[in-house]
Amino acid sequence: MSSKKKMLSGIKPTGLLHIGNYFGMMKQSVLLQDEFESTFFIPDYHALTTLHDPLMLKGFVKEVILGYLSVGLDPKKVLLFRQSDVQEHTELAWIFNCIMTVSYLSRGHAYKDAEAKGEEVTVGTFDYPMLMAADILLYDTDVVPVGQDQKQHVEFARDTAEKFNRLFGAAFKLPEARIMEEVATVPGIDGRKMSKSYNNYIPLFASREEIADKVMAIVTDSKGTRPENVYAIHRLLKDASALDPLYEENEGNYKALKEALVEDLDAFIAPMRERRKKLEVEYDIDGLLREGGERAQEIASAKMSDVRAKIGVR
C-alpha cells in the first residue's frame, strides 16, 4: 500500500475546457501528481443536471479525458475514469441523501443562485453536492484540487463524512480543498469569473484565430490607465515584473497590448493543442476508460461493502 496522501478531482463534461479550468484546477493537479496518489475522473452524472443530449455528453466526456492527458496527467501514475462506470457513486449519494437535511443543502451557492435567477431547479441540481461528496469520499481522498467556486462543495463532503462517521462509525476520511490563491477565480473576457455558462471563456485548446477573436473581444473600460481585464488574463502567463514595463510603454494602446496577449496565449496553448491533436488520433480513449473504470470500481466496491455493513443493508 502506498503511504502517499490521496488527491482526487473532476471536471464536469458540459463543454469545452477553458483556461479557467487549467489555471484553477489542472495546473496544480499536474504539479502534484507525483506527490499524491492521484485520481481524476469525469463526473458525467453531474453533467446530466444541465445537459440532456447523449451525443454531446459523450463528446464532452472525450473532451475532458483528452484534456487531462494533453495538460500532462500521466495515465501510468494517475487513475482516470468516468463516473458512470462506477455505480457506487450514485448508490452512496442516496445514502447521503438520507442523512443530510434539506435545510443544510439549501445553503448551497449553486442552488441558491439558480433559485435567485428564477430557474426551474431540478432535484438533481439541489442534490448535486451529495453526489459530489460520494465522488470524493469513496476514494479516501485527502485533498481536492479545485478553484474557489468548488470550495463549498468540498466542505459539504467533509460535513457529510463527519455526520456519517458519527452516526454509523468511522468509514470516511475528511477531505480538504486545495486552492491556489492567485488563480482561485480566473476572470473571463468580460471580467466576471471565467465560466462555460457565461460564454466568456478562452478555450484551453483554442486555435490562434480563436485566441485572437476572444482577446479582441475582451471588455476594456477607459477609466484607469491600464485595461484591467486584459492585464488580469495576461498575469496568468507572466509576472508583474515582466508585464508592467510593457503596459507602461503601451499606455492607452489597447490594440498593442491585446496583440501581445494573443502572442503569449498562443505560445502557451500551442504545445498542449498539438499534443491534444495527436492524442485524439492515436490514443485508445475507450480502452483507458474501461481499464480505469475497472480499477476505480474495485476501490469503490470495497468501500461500499464497509458502508453497507455499517448501515445494515444487504
Chain contacts with ligand TYM (rule: CB under 6 A): 9-12, 20-21, 24-25, 43, 46, 132, 135-136, 144, 146-147, 149-150, 153, 183, 185-186, 193-195
Read off the C-alpha cell for 238. Answer: 507572466
Closer residue to ligand TYM in complex, CB, 179/257: 179
Q: Which H/E stretch holds residue 163?
A: helix 151-168
CB 220 within 8 A of CB 209: no
Read off the C-alpha cell for 199. Answer: 460564454
Smallest separation, CB 313 to ligand TYM (Å):
24
Amino acid at 224: G
Smallest separation, CB 282 to ligand TYM (Å):
26
Closer residue to ligand TYM in complex, CB, 197/225: 197
Per DSSP, the three-state class of 193 is: strand
Closer residue to ligand TYM in complex, CB, 185/250: 185
Smallest separation, CB 25 to ligand TYM (Å):
4
Closer residue to ligand TYM in complex, CB, 149/190: 149
Q: Which H/E stretch holds residue 246?
A: helix 240-249
Kindly state the DSSP code that residue 15 receives in the 8-state scheme: S
Smallest separation, CB 176 to ligand TYM (Å):
12
Closer residue to ligand TYM in complex, CB, 154/260: 154
Closer residue to ligand TYM in complex, CB, 176/259: 176
Closer residue to ligand TYM in complex, CB, 147/292: 147
Smallest separation, CB 314 to ligand TYM (Å):
26
Interatomic CA distance for residues 262 and 282, integer angstroms: 29
Q: Residue of minimal CB distance from ligand TYM?
A: 24
List Cα–Cα distances, 157 to 37, 153, 271, 310, in angstroms.
19, 6, 36, 19
Per DSSP, the three-state class of 67 is: helix
CB 81 within 8 A of CB 293: yes
Closer residue to ligand TYM in complex, CB, 193/234: 193
List Cα–Cα distances, 54 to 13, 58, 168, 176, in angstroms.
12, 6, 38, 33
CB 265 within 8 A of CB 258: no
Smallest separation, CB 251 to ligand TYM (Å):
28
Residue with cell 480566473: 186
Please give the order of strands across the beta sheet that includes 6-10.
79-82, 37-42, 6-10, 143-145, 176-178
Smallest separation, CB 250 to ligand TYM (Å):
26
Query: Which residues are CB-contacts of 153 (< 8 A; sequence separation ≥ 6)?
Result: 108, 128, 129, 132, 146
CB atoms within 10 A of CB 116: 8
Smallest separation, CB 139 to ligand TYM (Å):
10
Closer residue to ligand TYM in complex, CB, 13/227: 13
Smallest separation, CB 182 to ligand TYM (Å):
10
